[in-house]
Amino acid sequence: MAGFSRCSVASTAAKTPTSAAATFSYLIRALSPSFSSSSSTFDPETDLNRGCPGVGKGTYASRLSNLLGVPHIATGDLVRDELASSGPLSSQLKEIVNQGKLVSDEIIIDLLSKRLEKGEAKGESGFILDGFPRTVRQAEILEGVTDIDLVINLKLREEALLAKCLGRRICSECGGNYNVASIDIKAENGSPGMYMAPLPPPPECASKLITRPDDTEEIVKKRLRVYQTMTQPVEDFYRSRGKLVEFDLPGGILESWPKLLRALNLEDHDDKQSAAA
């Protein structure tokens, strides 16, 4: 079974706070997939952005964001933006980071709620939430904050995920992400074949590529197992509400994108955008 990644898609902005509960001043901590049941914190660098490693959730979330004209919100980015600002949580976050501690769920959801409130004030018609929630408790809290219309599970075969992760490269100078893996899985035993072309760097980055230290087969397999186990209850949560769309990626972006749009009934949006371009 392949690992999952989620993008929560809402067509309405955040609910207007009507009580102290809606201001997110007291949210209960929930658990990150990569921590044991005794933990109550998570690291946005390692947990918020990874999701199921290699599935490409950020790429598809960005494309859907552009197509629908709504913001793509990644909670890890909210943390980094707050750290770089002079906002009310900046000092607290810097102290947490300097002490080598992990950022709590309360802070993450506080940042998210403020971002949704700002979007509502600006007249944003919706949002795409990338890689969050990660637990049923977070999903329950989010349900009280905003109306989630649809949750997309992007699924990719494990052998393809492994190849993608082992092929990932980062430019040590500009930080660009590339992939040197050429994935060509032959059809057999009733399973369809799959081809995913590499994403090579531009000439100026080719000699500066580095590999992430955690992109090893052992670590990736472990991350997949943990992710699958810890996120299954969240999938069941949204499935029981009739909001879960599960989509098996058939290949690379060129092959998968139009099929994903068909699965989401968004072909008309893409046609209109192409006509306007």
For residue 110, give the H/E element and its range. helix 105-121
Catalytic pick among 50, 134, 157, 169: 134
- Residue written as tokens 């996120």? 231
Active site residue 29: no
Active site residue 134: yes
Residue 3 DSSP one-character state: -
Active site residue 168: yes
**Which one-letter amino acid corresponds to residue 166?**
L
Catalytic pick among 6, 29, 50, 57: 57
Active site residue 223: yes
Catalytic pick among 94, 101, 212, 225: 212
Active site residue 241: no
Contact call for residues 208 and 172 (beta carbons, < 8 A): yes
d(CA 163, CA 179): 10
Contact call for residues 157 and 2 (beta carbons, < 8 A): yes
Q: How many CB atoms lie within 10 A of CB 152?
A: 24
The answer to whether the Cα torsion of 259, 264, 265, 270 is positive or negative is: negative
Q: Catalytic amino acids?
A: 57, 134, 168, 212, 223
